[in-house]
Amino acid sequence: MSQNLIHSLFRKEVLAMSAYPVADPGKLIKLDAMENPYQWPEQALEQWLKTIKNSPLNRYPDPQAKSLAAVLKTLYQVPTESELILGNGSDEIIQILLMALAPDAHIVTPEPGFVMYKQIARSLGLNYHGIALNAEDFSLDMPAMLAAIEQYNPALIFLAYPNNPTGNLFSEQQIKILLQATEGLVVIDEAYAPFTDATFMQSLTDYPNLLVMRTVSKLGLAGLRLGYMVGDKNIIAELDKIRLPYNINILTQITTEFALQHGDFLTRQTQTLRQERDALLQQLLQIEQIKAFPSSANFILFKSLNKDASAVFESIRNQGILIKNMSAHHPLLENCLRVTIGTEQENALFLSALKKALH
């Protein structure tokens, strides 16, 4: 089809976008996407295979994923007044939320932040405003956030807690000030919940405009694509009208439920990753040629102080390890790279590759 015809068919926002880039890891050690590097224990795998053996693949899945939703509610102490919506990854929940808003709605979020907020908001033609974080420690620029609330009266504010790609937790007090200052919804995106004890789940009853979003991806189930969001029953009921009826496939429903109920090993793995993160940060802090930022997630952001980040990234890749070069994502990320916490051995290999790359 001719480009002219294509241009006449699609919205200008879509034409102006680029697809979300995902690097092909080939045989590289993959420390770029905040995945859990560990496998399931053999015994758990065998039990799981027995569980899925009789799945009715010929039938549509339960449209409400009732059994899985009940397990999630109990496990994560979802307040009884709140309701839950499930998505094909939290990416889909972000999409559902934004699709439900009025076409002239304004969205506010601190930057640098998770790119899908902007990508989806822009694709839908919504008014997106990224508010720069404070440069020295990536904390919220409160005067700027409050001014944005005043100026745009945003329908929705996204706050990733901890934030991706900076890894820090914003101040709980400041978030509560924003929750009170805005008339719109505030989504606390707790994608990295397995790596911190901080959560807003228990504040849901205090703030009717608060929505808490999570995912099982970082816990160790990224391949299943399951995200969920908790909030006021009436808000969730509206969003549920936009959700496609069978968005959570049967294998994801059964497997996630199984993993959460037999998932002591996942908890042990995330505990190990927390220790590995703290150990790696200590090592990175000793390297003079970089500035490493503290993290409450399963990744660490660091800035190359003398060498161009692209050269550091390439050198590490040539040594067999894939991390993420964040330089182009935001002016505050100039010369910054992000490494996902891997196994002890992978982290050691990364550290020695980084040291070589910096020389």
The residue ranges that bind ligand PLP (CB under 6 A) are 34, 89-91, 114, 160, 164, 189, 191, 215, 217, 222, 227
CB-wise, 340 or 358, nearer to ligand PLP? 340
**Which CA distances in Å does 307 have to 107, 203, 334?**
36, 44, 11
Please compute, for residue 342, the number of CA atoms within 13 A of its CA located in the half-sphere on the CB side: 18
CB-wise, 263 or 358, nearer to ligand PLP? 263
CA 157 to chain centre: 15
CB-wise, 124 or 358, nearer to ligand PLP? 124
Q: Tell me how far, at minimum, the Cβ of 152 lies from ligand PLP, in Å.
A: 22
Q: Tell me how far, at minimum, the Cβ of 299 lies from ligand PLP, in Å.
A: 9
Q: Tell me how far, at minimum, the Cβ of 119 lies from ligand PLP, in Å.
A: 11
Contacts 24+ apart (CB under 8 A), 94-98: 94/120, 94/158, 94/187, 94/213, 95/120, 96/239, 96/242, 96/243, 97/156, 97/185, 97/187, 97/211, 97/229, 97/239, 98/124, 98/126, 98/156
Cα–Cα distance, 65 to 51 (Å, whole number): 16
Q: Tell me how far, at minimum, the Cβ of 160 lies from ligand PLP, in Å.
A: 4
Q: Tell me how far, at minimum, the Cβ of 104 lies from ligand PLP, in Å.
A: 25
Q: Tell me how far, at minimum, the Cβ of 249 lies from ligand PLP, in Å.
A: 15
CB-wise, 299 or 313, nearer to ligand PLP? 299
Cα–Cα distance, 300 to 341 (Å, whole number): 8
Cα–Cα distance, 150 to 82 (Å, whole number): 28
Q: Tell me how far, at minimum, the Cβ of 286 lies from ligand PLP, in Å.
A: 27
10, burial (CB in 10 Å: exposed 0-12, middle 13-18, buried 19+): exposed
Q: Which run of H or E residues covers position 29?
A: strand 29-30
CB-wise, 20 or 246, nearer to ligand PLP? 20
CB-wise, 217 or 304, nearer to ligand PLP? 217
Both structure tokens of 296 = 């409450």
CB-wise, 121 or 358, nearer to ligand PLP? 121
